[in-house]
Structure 1
Amino acid sequence: MLQKILCVDDDPITLMLYKMVIAKSSFTEEIITAKNGQEALDYYDNLNVANDFCCPELVFLDLNMPVMGGWEFLDNFNQSEYDQFNKKTKVIVLSSTIDPNDIEKSKKYPMVIDFMSKPITKEMLEGLKERL
């Protein structure tokens, strides 16, 4: 079981469903949510200010969000100022469409370990438990 994960998605219903499926799967002890990439970066910035390096081990990241989308989040999170986090945190990109170009683009980011189709399912989480 993971200690902490972060779910980043602009749809509150999707976030609620993720929390339910993740909780039922005993996948993590704590689930943090953010409505967009900027909120996710702000979360990491707050951890940094508090000198709290107990960051999420896994991020489920949507691509298409207002304010800051998933690609912008990854571009920022890949910067050296987030090294204390991005070296420990793995990212799974979740998308409602599986575009081969997006899959290839996601491979440019060292923290991205997979590109999966929405929604999160119990079976998906069982497979991830074995890999992580």
Structure 2
Amino acid sequence: MLHKILCVDDDPITLMLCKKVISRTSFAKETITANNGEEALQYFKNIKSDKVEELPQLIFLDLNMPVMGGWEFLDTFCLPEYEAYNSISIVVLSSTIDPEDLEKTKKYSMVIDFLPKPISTKMLEYLIQNKRLLL
């Protein structure tokens, strides 16, 4: 079981489903959420000032969101300001599987997979078995 996961998506139903599936499968002890990339980046900025000891071990990231989408989040998350968090694995979740998007994710070392929405028990099992997540 992971300690903490961050789900970044603008759809409240997707976030609710994400939390329920993760909880039901005991995939993580805690699931936190952000409604867009900007909120997610703010969470990481707050970690330093709030002295949060436990970082998320995994981020589920949507690509198409208002304010700041997944691509912008990834570009910013690669900057030196966020270097301390670059060991956090990211799974891109998208409602469309565009081969160009799949190829684009390969330039981000922290992205471990690109999977179709919605999150499911089988998806979590796949991540455990094939991505060797430390549970």
2:17 paired residue number: 17
| 1:119 has 2:83 as partner | no
Indicate conservation of the 8 Å contact 1:53/1:85, yes or no: no
3-state SS, counterpart of residue 46 of structure 1: helix
How far apart, CA to CA, are the structure 1 residues paired with 2:40 and 2:69? 10
User: Structure 1 pair 113/12, CA: closer, same or farther in 2 (3 Å)?
Assistant: same
In the TM superposition, structure 1's runs of 4+ consecutive aligned residues that sit over 3 Å from their partners are none
Instruction: Return the TM-score normalized by structure 2.
Output: 0.94
3-state SS, counterpart of residue 56 of structure 2: coil
1:98 paired residue number: 97
Instruction: Provide the aligned length of Structure 1 versus Structure 2.
Output: 131
What does the per-residue CA deviation read over 1:69-95, in whole Å, with 9 as the maximum and x for residues that have no partner?
0000000001111111112x0000000
How far apart, CA to CA, are the structure 2 residues paired with 1:53 and 1:37? 22
3-state SS, counterpart of residue 65 of structure 1: coil
| Counterparts of residues 45-124 of structure 1 (less than 5 Å) | 45-87=45-87, 89-124=88-123
Instruction: Return the TM-score normalized by structure 1.
Output: 0.96
Q: AA paired with 1:93?
A: V
Q: Which runs of 5+ in 2 are unaligned?
A: none
> Root-mean-square deviation (CA), in Å?
0.9
- Per-residue deviation at 1:53? 4.6
Q: AA paired with 1:90?
A: S
Query: Which has the higher mean CA deviation after the structures are superposed, 77-86 or 44-53?
Result: 44-53
